[in-house]
Amino acid sequence: MIKIGDITSFISCPRLAYFRMHHEKGVANEYHAVREIFLSLRKGYDYEWAYERFSTLYPDSKETFTLAASKLRYSEELERIRPRAWEVYFESERLRLRGVVDEITENGRFLVVMLKKISDKFTFKERMRMTAISAISGIKEGYVYYAYDGVLAEFKETRKDRYNLLRILEKLRKIEKGFLPERREGKRCEICEYSDECNTKPETFASRFF
């Protein structure tokens, strides 16, 4: 079954999705730390508890946690949204897609945490992440909380979003079965945890037409 994270990996780089789906390394990043802090604060716990949760999954990543904690802003705007449940698991048998939603709110929306707002509108990657949540949860509207900006934004799925999601899922199913996409050299390669494997894995003729 495909995870929501596979969709965002695919949009960053299709090859990255291949490596994460078949050779997950479990490397901690700032997003993982921010999510633990956000969830802990939302539930009424503190940073210490957030670190307890984070370090259980990523024992050697204190620097990442400290950095994320120094950048995170907890906005008062969040107080107007009352939570109903956290870390809710959904899956769709039909789409063969699964994921965990950070929060379901009392007004029947979902809420997810992200790091930084990069433009006025939602980016394609953000839209696809939230559309995937809509698809598995049946909830069409939600909020994004940009933790480093302290900004809350509202999202509503469109038909075009759903269509784009289905196209990505088709490609991810091929990758799930073992198809290795073409290497796309880009800025992301400089920080990619799979750069060694990626450099040594040969491309195939078929990967050019993916």
Site for ligand SF4, rule CB under 6 A: 13, 15-16, 19, 183-184, 188-189, 192, 194-195, 198
Give the residue with the Cβ less far from ligand SF4, 9 or 64.
9
Contact between 42 and 105 (Cβ < 8 Å) = no
Q: Which residues of 65-87 are buried (b: 16+ CB within 10 A; e: fewer)?
A: beebbeebeeeeebeebeeeebe
- Pick the closer one to ligand SF4 by CB: 107 or 199: 199
Cβ proximity to ligand SF4: between 27 and 166 the closer is 27
- Give the C-alpha separation, 110 to 85, whole Å: 10
* Main-chain phi, psi angles of 129, to 5 degrees: -60, -45
* Closest separation in Å from C-beta 159 to ligand SF4: 30
- Work out how close the CB of 196 gets to ligand SF4 at its nearest, in angstroms, rounded to a whole number: 9
In the complex, minimum distance from the CB of residue 23 to ligand SF4, in angstroms, rounded to a whole number: 11
Comparing CA positions, the residue from 79, 55, 80 lying closest to residue 66 is: 55
Q: How far is the CB of 168 from ligand SF4 (least distance, A)?
A: 16
Q: Where are the alpha helices (DSSP H) in the chain?
A: 4-12, 14-22, 30-42, 47-57, 62-71, 124-137, 159-176, 195-200
- Judged by beta carbon, residue 18 or residue 65, the one nearer ligand SF4 is 18
Cβ proximity to ligand SF4: between 155 and 194 the closer is: 194
Minimum distance from CB of 193 to ligand SF4 (Å)? 8
